[in-house]
Chain A
Amino acid sequence: MNLSNLLVNYEEAIAMVLFAIGFSNLLMQKNMIKKIIGFNIMDSAVYLFLALKGYIRGHKAAIVTDGVQSVDVYINPIPSGLVLTGIVVSVSVTALMLSLTIRLYRRYHTLDIDRITMEVKRGGDK
């Protein structure tokens, strides 16, 4: 194992750490809002990773300026496009999760998913 690679590609390493933080929050937090925050951290980490894949040091965003069309000036635009698509997806999923959370809160007056489950089991098939 060569740990110096981690230092060279520190951006990717940070993205993975963030992914792990978000993933474990989404999995283990009891509070719904914290779960949703975890989900957003997880997805943002993936977008950071993806954006890094398309970034070339010293190159500019892939918008043709001053008529320069050489590939040596611009970064790879495809990952940026994918990030935009991914952001749209995660925004809509976040909206859906938040609306579900509001409904649960109105019904059970708590954000704790475990307590909600207990309430549901006690309430039966209402």
Chain B
Amino acid sequence: MKLEFVRNFPLFCIILTLFSGPLSMILSGRKARYLNLGVITAVGVMSFLVLAEVSGSGNPYVYRMGHFPAPWGNEIRVGPLEAFMALFFCIIMLLSMIGGMYERKSEIVESKENLYYIMVNLLLTSLIALIYTNDLFTAYVFVEINTISACGMIMIKQNGRTLEASVRYMIMSLLGSGMLLLGICFLYGLTGHLLMSNIQESVARIAAAGTYHPPLMVAVGLMCVGLAIKSALFPFHSWLPDAYGYSTTSSAAILSSLVSKGYIFLLIKIFYRVIGFDVILNSRIINLFFVFGIAGMMFGSISASRENNIRRMIAFSSVAQIGYIYMGFGLGTTLGVMASIYHILSHAATKSLLFVAASGLSECSGGSKEISRLTGAGYRNRMAGVAFTVGALSMIGFPLFSGFISKILFAQAAVDEVGKMLPTLIALALSTILNVIYFMRAVLIIYTPTGYVSAESGENYTQVRMRMHPEKSIVFTGFILLNLVLGLMSQPIVELCSRGLGMFE
């Protein structure tokens, strides 16, 4: 009986976060904050129990929603990979929310603070629903909820920059979701189903018979390109630097590490559970991903090295990292997808760390975000300096940290694929060099002992005394530990993920 009860938890997670959103509306900012932290923790604990249950039993299970059975009703599907992703997203979200707490106090109007938590709770709902759902149209609805709440999280700071960034973000996202919706409609017209497993059966039949090839390819193309636009793959990234660079710290951390990853996870599900990986391989859409992924790696890194604002630099680095993930898809092997999944984890753990650390560094430099003004910031705020260095090393791919493992996995996956081996390895090498250039420049500047002295006003930040934030130290320790765990104990995690991915078929 106890076993049965744990199986309800994915649904409880979705319901709990969904209802805590509107509940925050009538609470004061402080209470809404505690509710939000409590909900994230509760969802994390429940996801952990679900993970223990499904990896113990070794079988994924399907949870029926409502009265109607399989071909008509709505379903949730829970496997080890899904439960692990939910748990991981909760950890990142909890750390990012606590890490940005101090900045939020000054950046968000106090009477509107509870509105921010509505957005965060709804964002968590949509991420968890995207992870678990087995129904394509439900996925579309939650993609839209995800977009709307992310837009709210960008614009909560209410200055011209964030308003403009959120409008640009909405426009790009709407183009993407329009294409996704049209793709789903094509697929529904072809197969007559909305549940992922039923669509897969029908698509396999259609592909085997060789009929309806053009519409199937159109549907695949529309869905893949739509989700690529939404997750800011290289030519569609124009909104990203402003949205990440000027929003409040916890928004930037959550947007960069979780929001785009939710769409990418949906894309993986579409690859394996909706269309079937063989059909995707035959469609050659992955070659497109490969090319644009590599282009994104190069362009993102080059733009980042020309950037003088530390937040925008980290944001451009996100463009490059999204490029890595799509390059992994582009390899067209399960190993490549596995490397991408690992990179989702390592990028999420590292990028949120970098955003929180960067805000700590600029706080002790008169609130400036320009890299040159951060000179010596690593001495003024030691914890943030160490955390930034760890994040930078992990992004570069230094052994011990998570980025190293994902780069190794990409290289290993590339070796199996003869035609794409050389471009992948060259791209990895070049991008690593570029990463070293801009991240090490930043690390060297923050550890230059002279300190910044402003030429005009003679302002000197060396004497700035840091107020201690105990919660930030905890967050930095948590993020660094997470990076070390992903970097040093990768084997069980890789095994868990590949087992979960194997159950996707």
Contact = CB atoms under 8 A, between A and B. Distances in A.
Interface string B164-208: 101110110011001101100100110000100000000000000
Given A96-B148, A120-B164, A46 B185 contact: yes
B144 interface: yes
A94 to B, nearest CB: 10
Nearest to B186: A49
B164 A104 contact: yes
Given A46-B178, A100-B170, A125-B159, A92 B148 contact: yes
B390 interface: no
A85 to B, nearest CB: 6
Contacts of A113: 164, 167-168, 171
Interface in A16-51: 19, 22-23, 26-27, 32, 35, 39, 42-43, 46, 49-50
B188 A79 contact: yes
Contact of B167 (A32, A119, A126): A32
A33 to B, nearest CB: 12
Contacts of B182: 19, 46, 49
A53 B185 contact: yes
Given A100-B170, A104-B164, A89 B178 contact: no
B249 to A, nearest CB: 15
A57 interface: no
B189 A35 contact: no
Q: Which of A27, A42, A92, A113 has the most CB of B within 10 A?
A: A42
Interface residues of A, number: 38
B25 to A, nearest CB: 16
A102 to B, nearest CB: 11
Interface of B: 72, 137, 140-141, 144, 147-148, 151, 155, 159-161, 163-164, 166-168, 170-171, 174-175, 178-179, 181-182, 185, 188-189, 194, 246
Interface of A: 19, 22-23, 26-27, 32, 35, 39, 42-43, 46, 49-50, 53, 78-79, 82, 85-86, 89, 92-93, 96-97, 100-101, 103-104, 107-108, 113, 116-117, 119-120, 123, 125-126
Given A46-B182, A50-B185, 13 more contacts: A26-B171, A26-B174, A27-B171, A42-B178, A46-B181, A49-B185, A78-B194, A92-B148, A100-B170, A108-B160, A119-B160, A125-B159, A126-B160
